[in-house]
A and B are shown apart, each in its own frame.
Chain A
Amino acid sequence: MYSQTEILKEPEINSSNSAEGELVINIGPQHPATHGVLHLVVTLNGETVKKVEPHLGYIHRSIEKMCESLSYRQFIYVTSRMDYLSAHVNNHACAMTVEKAMQIEVPTRAQYIRVIMDELTRIASHELWWGALAMDLGAFTPFFYAFRERETINDIMEQTCGARLTMNYMVPGGVMADIHPSFQQKVKDFIKLFKSNIDEYDELVTGSVIFQSRMKGVGCLSKEDAISYGCTGPVARGSGVHCDIRKIYPYEIYKQVEFNEIIETAGDSFSRYLVRIKEMKESIKIIEQLIDNIPEGDYQAKTKAVLKLPKGEFYTRVETARGELGVYIVSEGGTTPYRIKFRSPGFSNLSALDHMVRGSKIGDLMATMGTLDLVIPDIDR
């Protein structure tokens, strides 16, 4: 048993083993550079980072526990609030798990719509990351360039799904509503706009010598380390790991579309940057292949009003903008899940941060964190 004073005492972080001249500072939980309520306990020696300890829990909403009391139709909307930049993809994963368990056949039209939405979400998410990364490095203008394109996607989402971020558009069996009559035209307009504007990104940021010297050779993560930390998504692909779920476990119609998995081998911040920039172009390629060929038919399969999953365990994985999202449902045969577990990409990617920044300067810590593309509600759930 602890006495009350002992519990209330602040944990002594590193004070016993910190060497002479080392300083422990807290970055966050309220700090603009962490893009959310992330708390980093950083041990510094002068400007050199000795150790980074992320402290989590400030935005823990116990989504997994909440889902246990919600029905299989209701729990999907909560997952929009995990990785809010990939809300569609989260919803997609949950809907797919339920469909897999109940063996619901999703109409092809719905599959096309879903994949287009996923890719639009991926572009929107990478846009925001690009702007925010440039802002981390002190360039404010690119943020607005990124938001110009992102706004167009948000408008498309608003028109078809009814919301800009937390869409809740995917339901078990398909999508909630048919696409808006002007959806296809709007997406095509967006593709045109994006293609004419993406070069501005390279002019403004990629080619800039300041940016390159802040990125190249910073925050290195080797292929082996990326695998052992469980990194996925652009973080792992920037280190040369072949891990795109859309390629290795294709779901829905990803089998039929042609696109390249972007892999860079340098493993530094710049290669993670390049992966995301090139991924946006690949997503455009996927959308171009699908947008004119959306087949006619139902947008939603007929399902019962009350969904009951058979007894058993079900797992699906999808590729969000940040990496592999896994949804694991244990069902006892009832109308609510017995247990739900989300394997979020951000958590594993964050765990590699300490390894990546040890020995580098504190300014590089922020730059490296920017290239991890952390969304804190996704890490904490």
Chain B
Amino acid sequence: MFLKEYLSDIYHATKSLLTGMKRTGYYFVHPKEIITEQYPDNRETLKMADRFRGEVIMPHDANNEHACTGCTACELACPNATIKIITKFDVTPEGKKKKALDTFVYHLELCTMCNLCVEACPTDAIKMGQNFEHSVYDRSMLLKKLNKPGSKIREGVE
């Protein structure tokens, strides 16, 4: 009786192990079904999803114009004080003073990619970019100015 149990234990143990090994063996001879991506080698073909949140960017059009009015809504929405808006006063042709964006300071090292600033912006001036390769040798290189030098606000954006 004992011997029978003992042998059946061995049988079941071997069977369960072989079932597992069969699974592993299957993938060994079917390398096509392996889905691992070789990251740094596939950089040319790697495409992130459109909505992937890698960093905050400010799109500029061909005339070097952006849509930011300097309203600081994004600065207020940000939970980590990542954004600092520095404004200046432009003089309009009619001779009136008008608030405008001077510098959009963006601390990439503080940003958590939460998307709240993009949600808050009334003029869709900023959006999330797909670049995720942010490592640099010095932390100060992560401090960015998002508006390009010499850029100004697009005509008609209020």
Contact = CB atoms under 8 A, between A and B. Distances in A.
B51 A160 contact: yes
A3 to B, nearest CB: 40
A207 B19 contact: yes
Contacts of A158: 48-49, 51-52
Contact of B115 (A160, A168, A203, A305): A168
A176 B115 contact: yes
Interface in B11-32: 12-13, 16-17, 19-20, 22-24
A205 B20 CA distance: 7
Nearest to B122: A305
A328 B91 CA distance: 51
A160 B22 CA distance: 37
Contact of A74 (B19, B20, B79): B79
Given A162-B128, A168-B114, A209-B12, A70 B79 contact: yes
A210 interface: yes
B53 A162 contact: yes
Interface residues of B, number: 27
Contacts of B12: 209
Contacts of A141: 24
A163 B79 contact: no
Contact of B51 (A70, A177, A200, A210): A177
Contacts of A166: 112-114
A208 B79 contact: no
B86 interface: no
Nearest to A142: B20
A78 B114 CA distance: 9
A166 B53 CA distance: 11
A204 interface: yes
Contacts of B115: 162, 168, 176
A176 B113 contact: no
B100 interface: no
B16 to A, nearest CB: 5
A148 B50 CA distance: 22
B146 interface: no
Contacts of B50: 159
